[in-house]
Amino acid sequence: MDKQWISQLPISNVTKLVRVGGGDVNNAYRLEAGDDTYFLLTQPHQPATFYAGEIAGLKDFEKHDILAPRVLGNGQINGDAYLLLNYLETGQGSQTDLGQLVAKLHHVHSANGQFGYDLDYVSNDESFDNRWTDSWRELFVNRRLDKLRSMILAKHLWTSRDDDKYQRVREVILTELSKHQSDPSLLHGDLWGGNYLFLADGQPALIDPAAFYGDREFDLGVTTVFGGFDADFYAAYNAAYSLDPGANQRINFYRMYYLMVHVNKFGSMYKSGVDSAMNQILENARA
């Protein structure tokens, strides 16, 4: 990244820029300017609106006192989108505190009583329709699971046998969700172990949201896929916002979804995980 590009940021006197980890989507940098430190995300060849969804989520978190990075700037420089955030110095913290923070997030419900968001979810790999709806089944099954199924089939990553199993699982999900009272909680939307951190003072914070209002079991299902959340997290969450009967079975629906996202994005290496989740859903339905 050259000095001419950096000079167009809404900060001055940048003295240091270091490339850091920013996930699989963005280029990420740590910037120092005077006594201040910043976190910069960039996305080549994208408009500034590429970050609109993340910005909306971060601002909603700030509005409801959910600790997360603050948005300091957003725009496009030389054809590249950027998002400038304050830098969070990291330390060690408690999974109990993290569970309480996520429960606090989920206690925020949509003002209109509906599921969705003001912005659609858009990434380089997929997009999802977040238009407001009264039906969680419509948002989750019709607009997310079914779209992922179509994209996976189009990439020839599923056989007709896989699709037949998906259709059976889909019916189970629709049936079970029809029995469950879903409430539209504010969700992180991508709550895997890489999207939280602890600050230097031990406080937990949430990063990289793909926020929308949905059933809170969605976030909890995502937490179970790649680890990073221990028994203290789930105990603290349940103490702060107790789960409804059958939650452990329904959480498999969201495990399956998240693994389907990874099949679509990274390929067949995640296919066995989806198959395992589908088998578990069908087995639970027979029990």
Q: Do residues 150 and 260 share a domain?
A: yes
Instruction: Please tell me whether residues 251 and 151 are part of one structural domain.
Output: yes
Catalytic annotation, residues:
190
* pLDDT at residue 169, rounded to an integer: 98
Question: Which of 34, 55, 86 is where one domain is finished?
Answer: 86
Whole-number pLDDT of residue 257: 98
- For residue 35, give its domain range: 3-86
* pLDDT(24) > 70: no
User: For 212-239, what is the mean pLDDT?
Assistant: 98
Residue 22 pLDDT class (50, 70, 90 cuts):
low
Q: Residue 132 has what pLDDT? A: 98
* CA-wise closest residue to 57 among 49, 72, 39, 69: 69
CATH number, residue 249: 3.90.1200.10
- Above 70 in pLDDT, residue 23? no
Q: Is there a single domain that holds both residue 163 and residue 182?
A: yes
Domain final residue pick, 86, 121, 155: 86
State yes or no: pLDDT of 199 exceeds 70.
yes
For residues 215-239, average pLDDT: 97
pLDDT score for 124? 81
Predicted confidence (pLDDT) at residue 3 exceeds the cutoff of 80: yes
Domain boundary among 86, 121, 153: 86
From the number of C-beta atoms within 10 Å of its C-beta (0-12, 13-18, 19+), residue 15 rates as exposed
Q: Which residues pair with 37 in a beta bridge?
A: 32
* pLDDT of amino acid 123: 85
Q: Is residue 149 part of a domain?
A: yes
State the Cα–Cα distance between residues 29 and 199, nearest whole angstrom: 18
Would residue 202 count as lying in a domain? no
Q: pLDDT (tens digit, 9 = 90+) per residue, 235-282?
A: 999 999 999 999 999 999 999 999 999 999 999 999 999 999 999 999
Q: Are residue 119 and residue 214 in the same domain, yes or no?
A: yes
In terms of domains, do 39 and 174 share one?
no
Model pTM?
Answer: 0.94
Confidence bin at 182 (pLDDT 50/70/90): very high
Is residue 280 in some structural domain?
yes
**Residue 205 pLDDT greater than 90, yes or no:** yes
How crowded is the C-beta side of 22, counted as CA atoms within 13 Å? 19
* 157, part of any domain: yes
As for how many domains the chain has, the answer is 2
Give the mean model confidence (pLDDT) for residues 157-173.
97
Share of the chain above pLDDT 70, in %: 99
Backbone angles phi, psi at 122, to 5 degrees: -135, 130
Q: What is the mean pLDDT of residues 35-61?
A: 94
Give tens-digit pLDDT for 88-143: 999 999 999 999 999 999 999 999 999 999 999 988 888 999 999 999 999 999 99
Q: Assess whether 217 and 119 both reside in one domain.
A: yes
C-alpha torsion angle, residues 259, 56, 89, 19 (rounded to 10):
70
DSSP strands (E only) in the chain: 14-20, 27-33, 36-43, 71-77, 80-86, 121-122, 127-128, 185-187, 196-198, 204-206, 212-214
Mean confidence (pLDDT) of the chain: 95
pLDDT bin (cut points 50, 70, 90) of residue 34 is confident
Strands 27-33 and 14-20: antiparallel
Say if residue 187's pLDDT is above 90.
yes
**Residue 55, C-beta contacts closer than 8 angstroms, at least 6 positions apart:** 71, 74, 83
205 domain residue, yes or no = no
Could you tell me if 74 and 123 lie in one domain?
A: no
pLDDT of 20 strictly over 70: yes
